[in-house]
Amino acid sequence: MSPTRGQEPRTPLPGFPGFFTAGRRGLLVVLIGTGTAIALLSAATAWLVSLLSSTPDSGQRVLLVVGLLGLVGAAAGLRILERVLAERLGQSYVHEIRLGLLRGALAPGRGPSLGITVARTSNDLNSVRNWVVLGIAAAASGLPLVLVLTASLWLMAPPLAVAVMVPLLAATALLAWLSGPTRARAGALRKARGRLAGQVTDTVNAATAIRAGAGEDRELGRIDALGRDVAGAAVRRAVLAGSLRASAAAAASATAVSAAATGAFMGLDPGLIAAALTVVSLTATPVHDLGRIVEYRQSYLAARAAILPGLAAAPVLLRSGTPDQPPAGPPRAAAEPRTKEPEGMGTVEPEGLRTVEFDLGGVRAAPLRAVPGQCVHVTAADHTAIDELFSALLDGRAAPFVWIDGIRLSEMDGRLRRRSLGYAARALALERGRLGRALRYRRPGASDAEVADAVHRAGMAPAVARLPRGLGTVLRRGGDPLGAHERAKAHLVRAVLGTPPLLLVNRLDADLDDAGRAALRRVLEEHPGVQIVATDRPEILPDNFIEWRLDNGDALS
């Protein structure tokens, strides 16, 4: 059952990182201590003001003024420390969430669109940061200040303390009443921004096709409509955000009027009235912040609801076996991830794939046992089945019944899996960074000689030679300044670097030129490990390849 609108769930949301962890808990304690120290300094300031107004001796007044300036300076220093602590607290929390979002985006399966990911890691995380830095931190500092100053005023003149508290309590009730609608409008604005970000991203990615279809005006019209939705949602949210801030500002002014009026009607000592007005001025900032705290809180709750799907675990791509038919293959033993590398090339035994049922289409595969140096041409009526097969092989957790040299793929840790398995496919982007880093992505410790050899075998040497900075060239926007053919060769280089026992090639030839396809054939002929290749051009395969068919029926014999 979902929580009532405007209310925070009582239990932590699954997958959402906890805020009060050991490191952040310490920062929060220091932050509260800093706020309490500022509150005590402010109470002392109010007390000295009351003494200053009732002290006739000029020498004592000078000392009181010096003391007041010292208190103000100390409070200013603590304010700086408070701001630094609040920023550290917010950045720690945002950084943890950002890493979680990127883990979700990089996980196997169908992830969120680029636009949604950008919105989550920018606008939504900014809402989280504002709540921690300007909301939690302001409350941790402001609440002790208001309580200490009000208590000190109660000790000096209880009627004045009551006069200050009544407007504050009324404002608190009003802010609580406005918080629910504010959260709803913050959520509506976030959804409108997400739709706009997704549309802009998809439009830019499809720019070539849009121009070819003369659809520029049509797509701009859609973006214009979504942009107007964002503007309307922002204005509607601004009405309530303005109401929150206006209520807090009115409460701050009302406390001053209430204190002054109470002192005047009751004929209290002018020194006490001055102290009360000093208290009011010192509490003005945290009272003003009340409206913003509520606004930031509701924006955070809306952002958290949007971020949570990105933090959820990636969906399982494959189901192994069926309830009444256990997976075939060697018996599975519970074991920790293996870190010992296979000895030599060994055999690759995806025999258990006979019982792997794909989520899309129920695709099944025939049994297969491939030996070193063997090229396997994987075919299917639908390319989706092949893509799902490669996804399963790349994600060791989803392919528990594949062995490389006697070691189960699912029992390999990440380092061993990337050293045992090379992958190259069409339309893959390259990471931002130097070209040399991209080529060494699977084998960061590869020597220059090993990289040069792989570059030569993949036919990429001319492309590297023409770059002014060679392997030091910085790649951007998915692989620029490399062209499509050169990017495909780069993926082939990183796939064969280190000679992995299992080489996966998924229609890479579609992005290669003639020279690149010739280089790919030579790589497949010379590679000493097992190769599983999907291609629409069987002529690029070695002459002795075997066919491995995927089908939508029962497992083939």
Q: Give the tens place of pLDDT for each residue, 247-260.
A: 888 887 888 788 88
| CB distance 421 to 505 below 8 Å | no
Kindly tell me the sign of the dihedral angle through the C-alpha atoms of 515, 519, 520, 524. Answer: positive
Q: Name the pTM for this structure.
A: 0.55
Confidence of residue 391 (pLDDT cuts 50, 70, 90): confident
551 secondary structure, DSSP code: E
Distance, CA of 280 to CA of 261 (rounded, Å): 13
Average pLDDT over residues 206-213: 61
Give pLDDT, residue 14. Answer: 46
Confidence of residue 521 (pLDDT cuts 50, 70, 90): very high
| Residue 498 CB burial class (10 angstroms; 0-12, 13-18, ≥19) | middle
Of 245-249, 324-328, 465-469, the range with the highest mean pLDDT is 465-469
User: In the numeric block, which tokens belong to residue 71?
Assistant: 């208190």
Domains of the chain: 22-311 (1.20.1560.10), 319-551 (3.40.50.300)
% of the chain at pLDDT higher than 90 = 14
Give pLDDT, residue 452. Answer: 92
CA distances from 76 to 36, 72, 81, 516 (A): 14, 6, 9, 67
Query: At a CB cut-off of 8 Å and minimum separation 6, what does 552 contact?
Result: 361, 362, 363, 364, 381, 382, 385
Residue 222 identity: R
Confidence of residue 349 (pLDDT cuts 50, 70, 90): low
Average pLDDT over residues 345-351: 56
Give pLDDT, residue 267. Answer: 76
Give pLDDT, residue 488. Answer: 92
| Residue 469 CB burial class (10 angstroms; 0-12, 13-18, ≥19) | exposed
Give pLDDT, residue 338. Answer: 54
% of the chain at pLDDT higher than 70 = 78
Residue the block writes with tokens 């609108």: 5
Average pLDDT over residues 320-341: 40
Query: CA geometry: angle at 251 spanning 250 and 253, to 5°?
Result: 65
Q: Does position 353 have pLDDT exceeding 60, yes or no?
A: no
Longest pairwise C-alpha distance within the chain:
109
Cα 407 to chain centroid distance, Å, stands at 34
Q: Does position 519 have pLDDT exceeding 90, yes or no?
A: yes
Strand 530-534 relative to strand 375-379, pairing: parallel
Kindly report which listed range (111-125, 212-226, 492-506, 526-540) carries the lowest average pLDDT score: 111-125
